Structure 1
Amino acid sequence: MVNADIEIETLAEFDRVAARGSLSGYRVQSVNLLERTFALLSADTSDAVFLGCAMEPDASAKVRADGALVFPPVPDLPFDPYRGRLYTPDELFAGLADGYEATPDAQTYAWFQETKADGDVFSSMLRSIHDDAVCDALDEHLAGARVVGVMGGHAVERGGPDYRGAAELGRTLARSGLTVATGGGPGAMEAANLGAYLAPAPDGALTEALGMLEKAPSFAPSVSDWARAAFAVRERWPGGGDSVGIPTWFYGHEPPNPFASRVAKYFANATREDGLLARSTAGVVFLPGAAGTVQEIFDNATPNYYGSRGEPTPMVLVGRAHWTGHLPVWPLLRALASGRSMESRIALVDSVDEVPDVLAAMR
C-alpha cells in the first residue's frame, strides 16, 4: 500500500476500514476512538499504529496485546502533536473574542517559550513529532497542485500601495490556477493570501476589503484588533479561495494571517523555510523585504545552483531599485547564475504587474 493509503485521519475513515474487520498495518492519526471500543475489540489491529487516539482502557489493552503501537494523547498541551490535518484560521484563532492571548495560537507560542530552552527531551520530541505531522499533512494537501511561493516583508502595512500590489498579485496567480503559498505571516504575506482568498469574488471586493483592513494597519500594537479586522473581511466574503500559509512559532511575535485557507505552522523555522521553498515548484516571487526575504532568496538559489531539486525553480524578484540599490541582491544572484541552468530561470522586474507573464514564460 502507498503510505497515504494506510493513514486514517478521520472517524469516517476509521469506520470504513474497521467495517472490513482488519486495521492491521494502518496508522490511525489523532482520531477520538472512545466511542469505538467494540470496533477495536472486534478488529485485527496487529501491526497498527495509533497516534494520539483516545480510547477506553480495555480497548487500549487489547490493541497492545495484538502487537499494535499506541502513542497516547498528551494531556494539557495547547496543540495536538499527532494532528492529521493542516490548521485553519478558525482553529488557530478560536477564542479571539476574549483577546488574542486566549487563542490556541498564542497559547502554543507561550508553551514554546516555556519549553524551548529547558533541555527536556520530551518537549523537543513533541515539537519534532508535531512538525513532521504537519509536513505530512502539507504534502497531502498540495498533492497535484501547481504551487507558487510569494515571499515578502512582514512590515508592509494594510492600506498602502505595496500591500495592494501584493494582494492583486495573489489574486491574479490564484485566478490562473496556481496555488499561492506564503510564509503565512502579516504584511506582504497576508496580502498575497488575501488576494487568493478573494479570487472568486468580484474585482471590487478587494478594494472594499482593503478599506476594512486599513482600520487596523498592523499587528502592533494590538494583534486582537488586527485579527478581528481580517475575520470581518472573511465574514463579509465567506468561503474564499484556497491558498496556504506556512508560518512558525519561532517568530511568535508575528501572528499567522487569517486569509490562508490552510495553515502549516511549525515550531522549527528551518523546517518551515525549506518546506515552503521546496514545495513552490511553479516558481517563487520575492517582493521587497529585509533580512528574512534575503535569506529566502539564497535558500532557494542554493539548490537551483547545485541542481539538487532537479530543474531550477523560477525566481522572480520584484522591485529593481530595492534589489539592486537598497539591498543589492540581484547582482550577486545573477553572478551565481551565470553559465548555469538557473540563468534562464531568474528575473528582475519593476512591478507585480509583470510577474504572471514572466513566470509563465519560464515554466
Structure 2
Amino acid sequence: MSHIWPYLPARAVNITSLVEFDRLASDALSSLHPRGFSWRVHRVDLRERDSVLRSLDLSEAIFIDCQYSQHGRELVQATGGLCMSSGEELPFTTGERSLYTPEELYEGIRAQGYEQVPDAKIYAYSQQHTAPAALNPEDAMARTLHDHHVGQALISEVYEGVFKDSPLIGVMGGHAMRRGSREYAQTVELGQLITRAGYGVATGGGPGAMEAANAGAWLAGYEQKDLNLALEMLAEQPDAIHQRTGWARTALAVKDRFPSSQQSLGVPTWFYGHEPPNLFATKIAKFFANSIREAILLEQSNGGLIVLPGSAGTVQEIFQDACENYYATGARVVPMVLFGREYWTRTLPVWPLLQALAADRVMGEKIALVDTAAEAMEFISSMSTLRRRTRW
C-alpha cells in the first residue's frame, strides 16, 4: 500500500525539479488539451517559464513554495492554479470539534483572495508531503484524528443536532454544472422542494450541482422573483475553478441579500481540493480521506438519493449505494432516483443496468427515472424512511 494513500490522488504527479517540469510541460503542450492534470509542483524556479505557464490549463494543479517572474503567479492563477506557501504548523485542529461552517473555511474572503483562506491553506498542507519518506507518523496521525472527529461531529448532527428530525436526501451530481444554466436552476428548485417537504439536503459539498442543491435549501423560503434575482447574481461569476475568489464572493452577496435559517449539509474533501467547497451548505464535514467522505455521505442519506447527471465519480456513487440496497432487506432499502431520462439511458446508460440489478429484489420498487424535480420528490415522498443504522 502506498504510504501517501489516502491523502493524495492516486494519479498525482509530483514535480520537484525544473527538468521534470519541462518534460511534463512538453508532453502536455503536445496534447489536444494541454493541462497540468493533478500536478503538485514543489519548490521549482519558474521565473523563466512564463510562456509555458500561459499556455497550460492549470486548474487542477497546485504550486507550493515556487519562484515566479513578475507576472508568473498571475499566469498560474489565471487558469485556476493555486500558488501556495507551506507552513510548519498544522492549519487544522486534531481534537474534538463541531462541523465546519462556510465562515470558518472562508475566513477573510471578503478582503483577500481564496489562496489566503483556511480552506486553501489546509489543502496546500495536505499536498506538501508527497514522497513516502516525507509523510511522517505525526502528520498521518494528525489527519486521521481530524477525520475521526469530523466524522463524529457529523453523526452527532444527524442523530442529535440540526438534522435529527429531518431525514437527509443525498443529491449527487458533477462539479461541472455551471451557474446560469438551465440545469443549475432545476437543481436549485430540487433543493427547495426537498427542504420544503421537511427533508434535509446533503451533497458532496463542492461546486456545480452540489452547490445548486445547497443553494436551493438556503433559498427554500423565498418566492420565485427572489430566486430569479439570486440566480442572476450567481451567474455573474459562474466558474468555481478558474475564479475561486469571485465565485465565493458572489455566493456571499446572495446570502447577504437573502438571509436564511435553513440548514443543509455538505461533505467535501481535500482529496479534490482544487474544487472549493460551496458556501450554501451550513454544516460542512470536510475530510482528508475521500473514501471516508464518500461512504459516510451515502450512509447518512437515510431519506433517499437523487442523482443528477455527472461523470465517473457520480456513476461510482450510484453503484456504491446500489450495492448496499441490493443486499439490504425491507425498509432498509433507501429509494434512489436518477434525474434525467436522456442522460441516464443514452449518454451514460446506467438506468438499464440498474434495472437489471434490481430485478426481483426489494430495491426494484425503490428506483425511479425522472425528468423534473417535482417527479423526484413525489417518488421519494411515497416511500417510508428508516435510518440505516442505530446511533453509535
Secondary structure at 1:277 match in 2: helix
1:226-241 → structure 2 map (5 Å cutoff): 226-241=247-262
Number of equivalenced pairs: 289
Q: Is the 8 A contact 2:188 2:215 kept in 1?
A: yes
C-alpha distance in 2 between matches for 1:348 and 1:267: 33
Deviation at 1:362, TM superposition (A): 2.6
Structure 2: which amino acid aligns with 1:254?
E
Deviation at 1:238, TM superposition (A): 2.2
C-alpha distance in 2 between matches for 1:343 and 1:246: 28
* Corresponding position of 1:249: 270
Q: Is the 8 A contact 1:303 1:309 kept in 2?
A: no
Deviations 1:85-113 (A, max 9, x none): 00000100002121000000000000000
Deviations 1:15-49 (A, max 9, x none): xxxxxxxxxxxxxxxxxxxxxxxxxxxxxxxxxxx
* Corresponding position of 2:185: 164
C-alpha distance in 1 between matches for 2:335 and 2:100: 28
Structure 2: which amino acid aligns with 1:112?
S
Deviation at 1:116, TM superposition (A): 5.3
**Once the two structures are aligned, what percentage of the paired residues are identical?**
49
* Corresponding position of 1:130: 146
Secondary structure at 1:353 match in 2: helix
Deviation at 1:359, TM superposition (A): 0.7
Is 2:113 aligned against 1:99? Answer: yes
Out of 342, 346, 351, the position equivalent to 2:372 is 351
Gaps of 5+ in 2: 1-87, 385-392
Change (3 A) 1:79 1:310: farther
Which protein shows a greater Rg? Answer: 1
Deviations 1:311-363 (A, max 9, x none): 11100001111111110111111111111111111111122231110111233
* Corresponding position of 2:122: 108
1:9-88 → structure 2 map (5 Å cutoff): 76-88=89-101
Q: Is the 8 A contact 1:159 1:210 kept in 2?
A: yes
C-alpha distance in 2 between matches for 1:208 and 1:82: 41
Deviation at 1:309, TM superposition (A): 10
Change (3 A) 1:351 1:357: same
Out of 229, 237, 241, the position equivalent to 1:216 is 237
Deviation at 1:310, TM superposition (A): 6.5
Structure 1: which amino acid aligns with 2:116?
A
Q: Is the 8 A contact 1:231 1:258 kept in 2?
A: yes
Secondary structure at 1:362 match in 2: coil
RMSD, matched Cα: 1.5
C-alpha distance in 1 between matches for 2:228 and 2:135: 49
Secondary structure at 2:332 match in 1: coil
C-alpha distance in 2 between matches for 1:213 and 1:309: 42
Q: Is the 8 A contact 2:193 2:374 kept in 1?
A: no
Deviations 1:172-196 (A, max 9, x none): 1101110100000000100000000
Deviation at 1:203, TM superposition (A): 3.3
C-alpha distance in 2 between matches for 1:315 and 1:234: 30
C-alpha distance in 2 between matches for 1:162 and 1:83: 39
Greater shift, 270-279 or 143-152, is seen at: 143-152
Deviation at 1:142, TM superposition (A): 1.4
Q: Is the 8 A contact 1:234 1:240 kept in 2?
A: no
Q: Is the 8 A contact 2:241 2:276 kept in 1?
A: no
Secondary structure at 1:217 match in 2: coil
User: What is the TM-score when the length of structure 1 is the normalising length?
Assistant: 0.77
C-alpha distance in 1 between matches for 2:203 and 2:151: 15
Deviations 1:26-78 (A, max 9, x none): xxxxxxxxxxxxxxxxxxxxxxxxxxxxxxxxxxxxxxxxxxxxxxxxx8211
Secondary structure at 1:191 match in 2: helix
User: What is the TM-score when the length of structure 2 is the normalising length?
Assistant: 0.72
* Corresponding position of 2:103: 90
Secondary structure at 2:353 match in 1: helix
Deviations 1:127-169 (A, max 9, x none): 1111110111011111123110000110000011000000000
Change (3 A) 1:314 1:84: same
Structure 2: which amino acid aligns with 1:80?
T
Greater shift, 221-230 or 139-148, is seen at: 139-148
Change (3 A) 1:111 1:290: same
Change (3 A) 1:217 1:307: same
Out of 181, 193, 196, the position equivalent to 2:217 is 196
Gaps of 5+ in 1: 1-74
* Structure number with higher relative contact order (C-alpha < 8 Å, ≥ 6 residues apart): 2
